[in-house]
Amino acid sequence: MALLDGRVAVVTGAGQGLGAAEAIALAAAGARVVLNDLPGPGLDAVAAQIRDAGGEAAVRPGDVAEWSTGEGLLSAFDGVDILVNNAGVLRDRMVFSMSEQEWDTVIRVHLRGHFVTTRLATAYWRSLSKTSGRPAYARIVNTASEAFLLGSAGQPNYAAAKGGIVALTLATARGCARYGVRANAICPRARTAMTGELMGPPPDGPDPLSPARVAPLVTYLAGPAGERITGEVFVAHGDVVAVLGPPTVRAAFHASGSQWTLDELDATLGKVFTADPPQPGFVCEETLPLAESTFGESE
């Protein structure tokens, strides 16, 4: 399969789980893959698997939120065509008992980690585009989560980071389109070391929540067809790929005069928000019922 022959793909969090599956799939499609994760045997094992299959892999361990780590990823094969940001950690706790360190760690690894690699890659692509006089081949696939859609109560740090990643993805797509950058985000459901407690043990047979089920979408977005797709957010798992729509305006109200008064706001909004106890309204639960075979070939 020569879909990505000659392309360089950087994958963070590639030592296990989603990142490993994505890196292996990209290599199978012909990309030279730069693998990043914290130091450990996982990176070397993934690299060996890629090389044993005839692919090319470079291992660059390190903290993805460190600038020097990001620079090392781009220099491994002298440039980058595809960036897949996947590195992450969990420090789950309710917001009223979360420590400063638990907040900072998750925001740093997820959101700053995505920023560091995106900042360096887009600067490289911008320079390449200006020098060549044409758009660069530039693909970014960021990893968000349905946690940002649902406001996961026990994961305020993680939900906030994933919401920030979606915003970063959209800003990148809009700000760097002229240079050829196509940036998208995925919200994957996959059984990994990070989600094992939540999703439980895998079944005896084929696992519908295997990380390998998400990898084809990442490879597709990284390929030539990804030229037509940018600024989108996908939910992916099993045989499901769902494209999320943008937020909508549920209702709009106008003051009778030049500005609102407290009494007028109460008279207007008091008729709208009547639930007792109140329930969060800016929550997207439409993704929860998604299951295998939700979308057929005709959709």
SS3 call for 81: coil
Residue 220 has pLDDT above 60, yes or no: yes
Q: Are strands 32-36 and 8-12 parallel, antiparallel or unpaired?
A: parallel
Q: How far apart, in whole angstroms, are the C-alpha atoms of residue 43 and residue 53?
A: 16
**DSSP H or E stretch at residue 141:** strand 138-143
Position 205 scores a pLDDT of 66
Q: Which of 68, 127, 130, 158 is catalytic?
A: 158
Any catalytic annotation for residue 132?
no
Q: Which of 97, 99, 132, 145 is catalytic?
A: 145
pLDDT above 90: percentage of residues in the chain: 82
Q: Which of 127, 129, 132, 162 is catalytic?
A: 162
Q: Please, are residues 9 and 222 in contact by the beta-carbon 8 Å criterion?
A: yes
Span 206-227, average pLDDT: 90
Any catalytic annotation for residue 130?
no
Q: How far apart, in whole angstroms, are the C-alpha atoms of residue 78 and residue 64?
A: 18
Q: Which band of pLDDT confidence, cut at 50, 70 and 90, is reported for residue 174? A: very high
Position 210 scores a pLDDT of 82
Position 194 scores a pLDDT of 65
CA-to-CA separations, 240 to 135, 152, 287, in angstroms, rounded: 32, 22, 11
Residue 160 has pLDDT above 60, yes or no: yes
Q: What is the pLDDT of residues 13-26, one digit of tens each?
A: 999 999 999 999 99
Span 110-123, average pLDDT: 98
Q: In what order do the strands lie in the sheet with 32-36?
A: 56-59, 32-36, 8-12, 82-85, 138-143, 181-188, 233-237, 240-243
Q: Please, are residues 15 and 43 in contact by the beta-carbon 8 Å criterion?
A: yes
Residue 104 has pLDDT above 70, yes or no: yes
Span 43-58, average pLDDT: 97
pLDDT above 70: percentage of residues in the chain: 92
Q: Are strands 240-243 and 233-237 parallel, antiparallel or unpaired?
A: antiparallel
Any catalytic annotation for residue 220?
no
